[in-house]
Amino acid sequence: MEIKVLKNVMIKNSAIGNDNRERLLKHGVFAINITSSPGAGKTTLLENSLAELNKVHPCAVIEGDLYTSRDAIRLKDKCVPLVQINTEGGCHLDARMVSSALDNLDLEKIKLLIIENVGNLVCPSSFDLGENLRVLVYSITEGADKPMKYANMFKSAHVVLINKVDLAIACNVDIDSLEAEVKEVNQSCKVFRIAANRPESLIEWNEWLLDYVKKFRKGRD
Ligand SMILES: Nc1nc2c(ncn2[C@@H]2O[C@H](COP(=O)(O)OP(=O)(O)OP(=O)(O)O)[C@@H](O)[C@H]2O)c(=O)[nH]1
Ligand SMILES: [Mg+2]
């Protein structure tokens, strides 16, 4: 029996992902895909960094969730354009969903698009959404042994934000060992340690990101 379906889906997704990237590039928009397992702190990160990022590069957000608009509601006072995608049970965003969301954004008015993916530490690794940077928020409450167990998520990330570092002692996690395992799985990724609910811990990450976007945009303005 020939099993074609999944391959075809993936090829199609990659093609649409590339189209999304081209489309965003035409408008000079830099896109980030934020992944994590459920509850690792993606929305908290946005709650506490969006205003800073938006001051430098006008932002828009695409919120991915299975059913609700709860995360979008949490961000509504941030005054950035926001599109909610409900996957109706789907465990990841795909490029076609993002393409539809882009139809609902004025790309001329934004410079930084932040996509919050569905919380899942497996499937989102396989789906290129057309982003320029993939950021994995990893909560230490999940333990120090997950980089190797969920290697594809760690391998596909350009940046790993080790989150909830304030809970390290309570969770009996040695952050140095965790970071070493992240690096063992993905040598080239950039790693930051944060507590997303404490804005002061986000300064280094925000500055790095703003600078990265600035370099991307150089010559495009
Ligand atoms: N102690 C502590 N709690 C945090 C931190 N970051 C997030 N939280 C809490 O973790 C819980 C989940 O955070 P969310 O931001 O909703 O996580 P999420 O990744 O957006 O969740 P989903 O979108 O449902 O996958 C909330 O109760 C946050 O307040 C942190 O750095 N330290
Ligand atoms: Mg969220």
75-98 per-position pLDDT tens digit: 999 999 999 999 999 999 999 999
Q: Is the separation of the CB atoms in 50 and 29 below 8 Å?
A: no
Q: Give per-residue pLDDT as tens, 137-152.
A: 999 999 999 999 999 9
- The CA 72 to ligand 1 mean position distance, Å, reads 14
Does domain 5-217 bear CATH number 3.30.70.980?
A: no
Can you tell me the distance from the alpha carbon of 45 to that of 200, in angstroms, rounded to the nearest whole number? 12
Q: Give the 3-state DSSP-derived string for 5-17, with helices as H, strands as E and coil as C.
A: HHHHHHHHHHHHH
Strand partners, 193: 162
Ligand 1 site: residues with CB under 6 angstroms?
36, 38-44, 71, 119, 163-164, 166-167, 195-197
Residues 95-122 have pLDDT tens digits of: 999 999 999 999 999 999 999 999 999 9
The pLDDT value given to residue 11 = 84
Which DSSP symbol is given to 182? H
Give the percent of the chain with pLDDT over 90. Answer: 92
CA-closest candidate to residue 141, choices 37, 33, 35, 34: 37
Minimal CA–CA distance to 113: which of 124, 123, 102?
102
Centre of ligand 1 from the C-alpha of residue 218, in Å: 34
Q: Which atom of ligand 1 is nearest to the CA of 163?
A: 31
Tokens standing for residue 121: 């530490």
Tokens representing 14? 């990659």
Alpha helices, DSSP H, located in the chain = 5-26, 42-56, 70-74, 95-103, 146-149, 151-155, 175-185, 203-217
Q: What percent of the chain has pLDDT over 70?
A: 95
From the alpha carbon of 167, which atom of ligand 1 is closest? 1
Closest residue CA from atom 1 of ligand 1: 164
Could you give the 3-state DSSP secondary structure of residue 85?
strand
Q: Which residues contact 81 (CB under 8 A, 6 or more apart)?
A: 60, 61, 105, 106, 109, 110
State in Å: Cα 158 to ligand 1 middle.
21
In the predicted model, is pLDDT for residue 6 greater than 70? Answer: no
CA of 46 to the centre of ligand 2 (A): 9
